[in-house]
């Protein structure tokens, strides 16, 4: 009997499913902090699906490598379980303990079944332990992957939220930029701005950088790109909201903003824009 | 040989580019345009590229040089109707078409050319 194969494990799993399931559920429930009926029945259902699959994979695969084809079904079930638990707000530890808590009842059974061959038992225990460690780590990986997806989605949502283009006046648009400008955001700002220029037929766009914390050469380059793209579409750009420190930084860095109209405040920029488009605003005199 | 039509609108000439540009077509356009500027005593040229989805560096350079030629003949050039995607591509390519005036559409372009200065 080769010790590299999963024959023993498969036999034990196939012959004692009910016993294992009970032991497993007990172990799992003692570890989970939150206990309610729904979770309990769900766990039992997941465990009932998991055990036969593991038994099949062990019988079929003959290998402890979970990357082998035979373990595909087991892995996809684990993936499903981790994602379900992620949505329910379980921690990675709780998710992984689903797999780890099967080890105890399983080892107990192996000890009974293989009591007459201690060397084989030791070997089997080590191999099975490694196998379940791998499966447990797999669930943690999946859990983290799920979280990364959530973060990614939030990043995209944030990106869309943070780049509005508003119409200030007839033919005048404003782009209040908030947060750091990187190339991905510049791309979105540019696309939004240019589309809005077409939609509204605006002749002047005011890019307000009051909310941009720092302007380095890269950010300045991105700003100039946006200005150049708007100009190609036939709209002039004014950059406003330049704070004193930022004016100093721009000059120290040697960034050339000579070709762009720059104003300290949005109000000043609007004044220029109104003059250019031939509109004017007056204070009403109340007698 | 196919040619790009040049329409006369008072003192202005309107060129609408709708087909893919290549060397010979560009040369022919520049020949025709310079000739028409002199013949019609045109004061301004509108180049409409609203039908182009792709503008590469070749067309970009062609437009720049056409504008320079027109300027020498004392006609101002306005490039009109550029698509947003085209504008972004040109900026990424580093082609800012300096010296070429731009407008959102033909109407705005005409306004720009009628304004003195």
Chain B positions touching A234 (Cβ under 8 A) are 80, 82, 102-105, 108-109
Instruction: Break chain A into its structural domains and give their ranges.
Output: 7-159, 166-277
Q: What ipTM does the predicted assembly reach?
A: 0.82
Query: Is A98 in contact with A112 (CB distance < 8 Å)?
Result: no
Domain annotation covers residue B50: yes
Report the phi/psi class of residue B74: left, alpha or beta, with left for phi > 0 and alpha for psi in -120 to 50.
Answer: left
Domain annotation covers residue B52: yes
Nearby residues of A196 by Cβ (< 8 Å), 6 or more positions away? A165, A167, A173, A202
Over residues B84-112, the pLDDT tens digits come to 999 999 998 888 888 889 999 999 999 99
Is B88 in Cβ contact with A233 (below 8 Å)? no
Would you state the structure tokens that stand for residue B100, as one six-digit string? 């070429």
3-class SS string, A7-21: HHHHHHHHHCHHHHH
Residue of B nearest to A203 (CA): B104
Quick check: B45 pLDDT over 90?
Answer: yes
Residue B22 structural domain: 6-114
Chain B positions touching A225 (Cβ under 8 A) are 91-92
- Of A212, A150, A217, residue with least CA distance to A185: A212
Q: Using 50, 70 and 90 to split pLDDT, how confident is the model at A1? A: very low
CATH code of the domain covering residue B51: 3.30.750.24
Q: What SS3 state is found at A43?
A: helix
Domain annotation covers residue B1: no
Is B102 in Cβ contact with A234 (below 8 Å)? yes
Read off the pLDDT of each residue in A260-270 and give the average, rounded to a whole number. 93
Q: What SS3 state is found at B102?
A: strand
User: Is A115 exposed, middle or buried, given 0-12, 13-18 or 19+ CB atoms closer than 10 A?
Assistant: exposed
Q: Which CATH class is domain A7-159?
A: mainly alpha
Over residues A123-176, the pLDDT tens digits come to 888 888 888 888 889 999 998 998 899 899 988 887 777 778 999 998 999 999
Residue of B nearest to A200 (CA): B104
Query: Is A164 in contact with A104 (CB distance < 8 Å)?
Result: no
> For position B110, what pLDDT does the model report?
93
* Strands B12-16, B6-9: pairing kind: antiparallel
Number of domains chain B is built from: 1
B17 in contact with A at a CB cutoff of 8 Å? no
Q: Using 50, 70 and 90 to split pLDDT, how confident is the model at A2? A: very low
Range A166-277 has CATH code 3.30.750.24: yes
């Amino acid at each position: 009997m080769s010790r590299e194969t999963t024959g023993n494990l498969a036999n034990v799993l196939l012959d004692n499913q009910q016993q294992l399931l009970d032991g497993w559920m007990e172990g799992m429930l003692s570890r989970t902090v939150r206990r309610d009926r729904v979770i309990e029945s769900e766990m039992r259902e997941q465990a009932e699906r998991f055990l036969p699959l593991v038994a099949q994979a062990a019988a079929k695969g003959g290998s402890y490598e979970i990357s082998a084809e035979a373990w595909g079904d087991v892995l996809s079930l684990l993936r499903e379980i981790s994602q379900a638990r992620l949505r329910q707000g379980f921690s990675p530890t709780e998710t992984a303990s689903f797999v780890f808590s099967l080890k105890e009842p399983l080892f107990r059974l192996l000890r009974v079944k293989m009591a007459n061959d201690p060397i084989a038992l030791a070997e089997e225990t080590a191999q099975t332990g490694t196998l379940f460690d791998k499966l447990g780590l797999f669930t943690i990986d999946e859990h983290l992957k799920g979280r990364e997806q959530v973060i990614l989605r939030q990043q995209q949502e944030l990106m869309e939220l943070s780049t509005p283009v508003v119409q200030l006046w007839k033919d005048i648009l404003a782009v209040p930029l908030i947060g750091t400008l990187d190339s991905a955001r510049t791309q979105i700002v540019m696309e939004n701005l240019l589309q809005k220029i077409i939609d509204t037929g605006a002749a002047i766009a005011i890019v307000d950088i009051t909310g941009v914390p720092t302007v380095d050469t890269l950010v300045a380059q991105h700003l100039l790109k946006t200005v150049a793209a708007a100009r190609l579409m036939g709209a002039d750009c004014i950059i406003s909201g330049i704070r004193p420190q930022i004016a100093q930084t721009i000059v120290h860095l040697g960034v050339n903003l000579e070709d762009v109209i720059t104003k300290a405040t949005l109000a000043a920029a609007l004044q220029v824009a109104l003059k250019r488009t031939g509109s004017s605003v007056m204070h009403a005199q109340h007698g | 040989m196919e040619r790009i039509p040049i329409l006369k609108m008072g003192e202005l000439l309107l060129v609408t580019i709708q087909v893919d540009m290549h060397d010979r077509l560009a040369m022919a356009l520049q020949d025709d345009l310079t000739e028409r500027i002199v013949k019609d005593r045109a004061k301004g040229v509108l180049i409409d590229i609203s039908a182009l989805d792709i503008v590469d560096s070749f067309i970009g350079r062609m437009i720049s040089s056409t504008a320079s030629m027109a300027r020498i003949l004392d006609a101002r050039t306005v490039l009109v109707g550029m698509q947003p995607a085209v504008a972004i591509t040109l900026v990424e390519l580093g082609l800012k078409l300096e010296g070429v005036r731009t407008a959102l559409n033909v109407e705005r372009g005409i306004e720009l050319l009628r304004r003195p200065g």
